[in-house]
Chain A
Amino acid sequence: MINIRANRCDYCGACVSVCPVDCIEVRESSIEIEHAICIDCDLCVEICPIEVLEVHAAE
């Protein structure tokens, strides 16, 4: 599962552009991941320039 450290986010949308399933919604000052659609490919984590997204180990 991807965890969002939202208060670090610049809302640039780099994560949205690489997401293969279009499960990330970035607005002017909000970011959300639709976890039901997310396939945990972690590409968004890799591309984020400022480490907003992180892989959160499943419990």
Chain B
Amino acid sequence: MLQNKYDVVVVGGGPAGSMAAWEVAKRGVSVCMLEKDRDIGYPVRCGEAAGESGLRQFVEIQDNWIAEKITSAKLVSPNFTAVDVNFASETGYILNRRIFDYDLSKYAANAGAEVYTKAYVKNVLTKNGQTNGVVLDYLGEEKQIQAKIVIGADGLTSRVGRWAGLKTQVRMKDMESAVQYSVANVDIEPNKMIMYVGMNHAPGGYVWVFPKGKKFANIGIGISGKYSKHKSAQKYLDEFMKREYPDAAILTTMCGGVPCAKPMEKPVANGIMLVGDAAHQINPMTGGGIVAGMKGGWIAGQVAAKAIQNNDYSENGLIDYPKRMRKDFGKNHERFYKIKEATEKLTNDELNSIAEKVLSIPHSQRTLTSVFKAAVFKKPTLIIDVLKVFAGV
């Protein structure tokens, strides 16, 4: 039963939240995780792509999490020049987030975390400049929970951080407006992800086609908030579907925003930590955030447990979290952000000529490394770097 006091409260039951709750619970510290929806893992708002090596850092990968193994990618330039690239050493996955997220929450619960769904947090409690709990609606009643540390894993809205005084709002140019269809009755080559780049396909983003088993796929688009004013992401996607997959049956429509921003400088303050999308722990080039969010939750959970044991949950007591994040992930994050900014300036013509250059490499020799070497003469490219990053090379 929901208590009115825990050492740690985690707001949000996605992968970042579950990892945080799991790490805290493992260390014998009392923790509860509050999910606003009626289910963990549903609705899914994600392309569901993640690298094998990234996931393996935290968990043993279960067969039923995997909808499709990805071993190659096809990149399509604005003039439809298609470039196939094999992944040399790395494997990617298209996950079943519905099962995956659910299992992570079970791991947390089995370690001792309490998990509650339909628990909507609507404010934080503060005392003397220290966040010390949350206010929530749970089963039709308003409740308060006291906590020494609140971990905001509340996704892109990141209101927990905002209420606690952290600057979590994302600039429009750094926000991707995204929509995805899960579709059936499509003929798609297995084990291959397809991405379309360029202003005509997806300004400031890309269209993805991620196979999820026979005749089934996630097909989605992200466009930069810089360009979404006059034409919505869904309009772009509908044009794409009509042209490329006119016979597809759209089973689900899901949408979302993806904060492709610089890493948040300080996702902590007195008594509060942010993880996952809430802390913009997303590869700003690919919009991929599963592994990054898990890393954030994993480190934050460890630091939170230690802070409780040390009886110091001030900002100072939590500062190891951003420090470790920066060391582990932050440098790459900043590099990817710079590449994103550079590649966004590439014109359709430049993207086409890069695609043609890459095509001149024989297919058998076209690995991520050889492609990268060929393209690097031009300039860093969206195509190459998206691939590299997706493959985790």
Contact = CB atoms under 8 A, between A and B. Distances in A.
A17 to B, nearest CB: 4
Contacts of A47: 172, 175, 177, 225, 228, 257
B169 A14 contact: no
A17 B257 contact: yes
Interface string A2-36: 00000000101110111110100011100000000
B162 A49 contact: no
B179 A50 contact: yes
Contact of A17 (B45, B118, B170, B234): B170
Interface stretch (B26-34, B152-160, B208-216, B355-363): B152-160
B36 A46 contact: no
A40 interface: no
Contact of B256 (A14, A28, A43, A51): A14
Nearest to A19: B169
B172 A12 contact: no
B229 A46 contact: yes
A38 interface: no
SS class of chain A's interface: helix, strand, loop or mixed? Answer: loop
Give the interface size bracket for B toward A.
20 to 34
B306 to A, nearest CB: 30
A48 interface: yes
B223 to A, nearest CB: 8
B36 A17 contact: no
A48 B234 CA distance: 9
B234 A49 contact: yes
SS class of chain B's interface: helix, strand, loop or mixed? Answer: mixed
B156 A50 contact: no
Nearest to A43: B172
Contacts of A48: 177, 232
Q: Which of A10, A13, A17 gathers the greatest number of chain B CB atoms within 10 Å?
A: A17
Interface string B139-178: 0000000000000000111110010000011101001011
A16 B162 CA distance: 11
B232 A17 contact: no
B172 A49 contact: no
Interface string B246-263: 000000011111010000
Contacts of A14: 156, 175, 177-178, 255-257
Contacts of B178: 14, 49
Contacts of B22: none
Interface string B8-38: 0000000000000000000000000000111
Given A13-B157, A17-B170, A18-B172, 16 more contacts: A10-B255, A10-B256, A13-B156, A13-B257, A14-B177, A14-B178, A16-B156, A17-B158, A17-B175, A18-B170, A22-B159, A46-B177, A46-B228, A47-B172, A50-B234, A50-B253
8 contacts: A14-B156, A14-B177, A18-B225, A22-B159, A28-B118, A47-B172, A47-B177, A49-B255
Interface of B: 36-38, 43, 45, 118, 120, 155-159, 162, 168-170, 172, 175, 177-179, 225, 228-229, 232-234, 253-257, 259
